[in-house]
Amino acid sequence: MGSVQRAMRLLESVAEHEHGAPAKQLARETGLALPTAYHLLRTLVHEGYLRRDKGLFFLGEAAERLSSSGAEQKRRSTVVEALAHWRDLIGVPVYYAQYRNGEIEILCVSDSPGNPAVEEWADFRETGHAHAIGQCLLAQLDDEARRDHLDRYPVQSITPYTVRDGHSLLRRLERTARMEPVTERQEYALGTVCAAIPITLGNAAATMAISLPAHQADRLLAATQQLQDEIGRLMGTLAISISI
């Protein structure tokens, strides 16, 4: 345990020196005997946590991976907390999704026993034409990317309310303003209505969405507007975090 603690102190000391530091300085700053510091520094270099260049020690790739992983977890935690807050505030399940590498990806869902999320009874990736999340993401794509997606995942009717064919869907998407919320009623799942709000992430397509039982359809527009207002208030904080 003592060796681990001393190694961590050395890592922390190296991290404070952007332009590197020699072993003698690191030993002095950490209060370690020079032979002990040398031994631990060599071990950390061997394991990839430090690198040595011209007598100076810098953080290595292994340490940088740890830092990157920690930052990613923190960003994800920010999104999870925001979705849980909106779930409780509005009283609806909240979803976060992106269009990445040609696929619709649901990255985070926050629901509760009293307000459960929609069951994925048909693959969300293959049925983007039928649910609000998919329609919102497709509406943000350019025409070529949109047609490519529909070539790979053709429109198919999965409920009596689903759009009937690709041409009808494309016309609907073309009429949708880029930052306008998208709603669908029982197109993906009978008994469920949904809405999705487009999110600006540079050139990436992203969305936050909600769902409600069909018998609460009269709440959909007000709940969507409330979520849109909440997103606007937190967008500065979320701008970096939501690319999880």
Q: Which two tokens stand for residue 215?
A: 């018998």
What is d(CA 230, CA 89) in angstroms, rounded to the nearest whole number?
10
* Nearest to 243, CA basis, from 123, 20, 74: 74
Q: Which residue has the tokens 């949708």?
A: 176
Answer yes or no: are the C-beta atoms of 166 and 242 closer than 8 Å: no
pLDDT-derived band at 241 (thresholds 50, 70, 90) equals: very low
pTM of the model: 0.69
Q: Which two tokens stand for residue 194?
A: 């949904």
Q: Establish how many alpha carbons lie within 13 A of residue 232's alpha carbon, considering only the half-sphere containing its beta carbon.
A: 7
Q: Residue 92 burial (CB < 10 Å; 0-12/13-18/19+)?
A: buried
104-136 per-position pLDDT tens digit: 999 999 999 999 999 999 999 999 999 999 999
5-15 per-position pLDDT tens digit: 788 889 888 88
Q: Where are the beta strands (DSSP E) in 76-159?
A: 94-100, 103-110
- Share the mean pLDDT of the chain: 88
